Structure formats: C-alpha cells, structure tokens
Amino acid sequence: MTGPLVVVGDALLDIDVEGTSERLCPEAPVPVVDVGREWQRPGGAGLAALLAARSAAEVVLVTAIGADPSGARLAALLEGEVELCTLPLDGETPRKTRIRAGQQSVVRLDHGGGRASRRTLDERTISLLRSASTVLVADYGRGVADHPQIRKLLAEAATRVPVVWDPHPRGGAPVPGARLVTPNDAEAVKFAGAAGDPAELAVSLRDKWNASAVAVTLGSRGAVLAAGGEVRTVPIPGPAKVAASLRPDTCGAGDRFASAAAAALFDGADLTGAVTTAVESAARFVAAGAATAVSQPADEAEPEPVTDPLAFAERVRRRGGRLVATGGCFDLLHPGHVALLRHARSLGDALIVCVNSDASVRRLKGPTRPVVPAADRVRVLAALESVDAVAVFDESSPAALLDRIAPDVWVKGGDYAGTELPEAEVVRAHGGEIVLVPTVEGYSTTRLLEGVSHG
C-alpha cells in the first residue's frame, strides 16, 4: 500500500488585518490604518501541508502546536484539510500578524516564541515517517526538523523515498540524500556564504548538502535547477508570468513551490518535471492572490466552544500540553473562586473545571442548595478567560471523571491541607500531582448565603 505524503515542519498562525490608510498619525510620520476585516490561515508548514493537500490524495502534517488559543485556531483551520500528527511545543504557538492597507503590508507583529519539544517521539510519528511515500520538510527554524529523532528518521527516509526540503536560515541543513532542496535566491546566498550567479549557487549548495538536486527559486524569473551534472533554468510559462505580475503579494509562494514539487514527485514525476510543475504552480498561486486566497475571515474561523471536555483533554495531551483540573460546586461565584481558577490555569496549558451536579451539591450541602443550577454555573465558568472547559459529575467525588480526564495537575484550595482527598489516588495513578492553592480569606458561598439570611 502506498504511504502518504508527509509534511514535517513548524506550523504558524498567520493573520492579515486589512484596512485603509488615508492619513498620517499626528504624533509620528506613520500611517493610520482604519481596520476593515481580519483574515486568518495556517502558516509555515501548515500552509505547505494545506497546499500539498490540493495536489496529493493523502497528506499528513507532523508539527508542534501549543495548547493555547492560537494553537486551537490553527488546528481548527487545518481540520478536514490535512491529517494532523502533533508534537509537544515548549511555549506559545507562533502567531504572525500583518497589518495591510491598499494591498500593501505596513508592519508585521510576531507573537509566540514556542519551539518544538525535544521529548521522545511517540510510535505514531515514527510509523508515519517510516511509511511515507514522499516527505516535504517545511523548516521554519522552530525545532521540528531539528529534533534529533526526526532528523534520523528523515535521513533514513531519504534513502528510500523523495525528500523535498524547503530550508530556513535559522534551521538545520538538509539531511544528506535529499531529492530536492528549494532555497530562494536570498537564502541561497546566505547558505553559500557568498553572493554568486544562481546557477553557481545551486551547484555549490547541491554539493555542500550532498543532495540529488537544488532548485534556487527566482520569483518572477522562475528557478534554476542543478540536478546531477546538469544545470537548467526553468522559466515561468507565458500566461502564468503575465498573471503573476498583476499581484504584488508573494506571501506563501515558496510554500507553494515546495508543496507542488513534493506532490509531483509523490505522483511519480522526475526532478525536471516536478520543478517545472512547481514553477507554474507558484506563479499561478501568486496570480490568484497568494496566501490571502486561502485565508478565512476571522469571524468565520472562531473555534467551536468546547462541548466534549473528555475529547478536549485528549487533544491537549496529544499536543503535549500540561493539563490542569480543579473542581467544586462553584455555586455563587466569588473572588476566592476566581483567584483559585487563575492560579490553577497558570500551572499548565489548559484548565478543565469539574463541577458537582445539582444532585451532588444537594447531597453535600443540603436540600436548599445549589442556589444556581448546574447549567448556569457551567455557563458562568466557561465564560471566564482562565477556564478552557467545564465537565459536570454526579458523584460526591470527581474521582471517576478524573480517571477519564487524567490531568497532569489536580488543584484544590488550601483549606484541604492535612486531609487525604478521595480523588488523590486516581490522580496519582495517572502520574498526576496534587497542588493546594491558598484560599482568599473571608470568601465562601456558605458565608455569603449566611450574610444574606442575616441581613
């Protein structure tokens, strides 16, 4: 059975804030942009995989995504387009925001310095890289392609199947034996360490990297391919070249070139045919609006609210995130609750709140409680910035729920110090730890209700 086209690399969340600019700021000679609409799309290896999926039947993306809002948005944008195989990310998911006016970029804002964790790979990732029919490495210098195990597996893959490597100045060198390496002309100069004719650079880098071929991309001039003992220029076909010249935005053109080349090799093309296909595909991609053509309006790309806390917990674990859970009745939400939830969220990458059902509260607190029904308590908790998901349990203890959630950290208030929590054994059985957080003096639902009854 033929394996998939596997894309390996660093995925980003790309945002375009589009607006108009007709005046300068009075405090400084900078344009004032009146924001119109915000667009979002996968970036980096995410964009490369998305584009590869439009040319190849089966595409899997091996990347690192954080358990944070940007990571959730990125995963949602890729869902249904490519199969995801996620690695742990140390830090926040990278997010790049372009502020644009009149189809021109004014400034770019970068957030999130997350890098792929060096933790041992799971069996699924290893199996995917060993079964791939073609591999595209979209290296954006954030650690995925530099992972020691991944590099070893890529080197092994290069002896069996086509490996296309789109390099980055902050990333590692391509593994020996790569079928095709695709730097642009500016990158080629940096990698070679000196300026030169594109053909000379392609030959020099092919030899330096021990690659089968190097294609130096030249924008509107096509590409120069050094393969074997031959060097040839691959121009953009006439109609595509004319169309490409009409649109100035080239964002993602390199990803389109590399993904089209990989897809062509996946389908059995030779190197010259793959690069010819890639040149034309990249030109038409730019002509169609480049990366903006695959963007979604932000208001249509909002991630769905969490409706399945157990599935959410599994997604956090798959991404290597640190899952925190806490629990209680949360009948009348007060500052003590808010402080506990904020502290709990700071201990990891995602927080699930386990809430006693109405029947459970009655058994614990008496027939007059809860004051606020479970459905409303869930809505209030879910609206808090520190809370990622809410799960309701019917038992007096959340032990059975925690057995399924398996949090890395279980948080309770400091008033439980000196007592053995009934759920402690379950948490520890899954390798989790228990953290007691100091309570805020003077606050409890019972005290609040007593104050009302005596008022």
Cα–Cα distance, 119 to 228 (Å, whole number): 38
Closest CA to 258 of 196, 211, 214, 220: 214
Answer for the pair 445, 329: CB distance below 8 angstroms, yes or no: yes
Q: Which residues lie below 8 Å from residue 383, measured CB to CB, with a gap of 6+? A: none
Closest CA to 345 of 384, 302, 309: 384
Query: Per the residue annotation, which of 14, 16, 255, 388 is the catalytic one?
Result: 255
| Intervals of the chain under pLDDT 50 | 1, 239-247, 301-303, 442-443, 445, 447-455
Residue 133 pLDDT: 96
Residue 292 pLDDT: 79
Residue 305 pLDDT: 57
Residue 1 pLDDT: 43
255 is catalytic: yes
Cα–Cα distance, 260 to 4 (Å, whole number): 15
- Report residue 152 as tokens: 């070893």
Cα–Cα distance, 282 to 236 (Å, whole number): 9
Residue 29 pLDDT: 85
Residue 85 pLDDT: 93
Read off the pTM. 0.68
H/E element, 155: helix 148-158
- Report residue 213 as tokens: 């071929």
Residue 415 pLDDT: 61
- Report residue 405 as tokens: 């959630």
Report pLDDT digits (tens) over 274-298: 999 999 989 888 877 778 778 888 7
The residue type found at 450 is: E
Structural domains of the chain, with CATH: 5-300 (3.40.1190.20), 309-453 (3.40.50.620)
- Report residue 391 as tokens: 């799960």
Residue 28 pLDDT: 84
Residue linked to tokens 């596997």 = 6
Cα–Cα distance, 340 to 102 (Å, whole number): 47
Q: What is the DSSP string of 44-83?
A: EHHHHHHHHTTTSS-EEEEEE--SSHHHHHHHHHHTTTSE
Residue 300 pLDDT: 52
Q: What is the DSSP string of 265-327?
A: HHTT--HHHHHHHHHHHHHHHHHTTGGGGG-EEGGG-PPPPP--HHHHHHHHHHTT--EEEEE
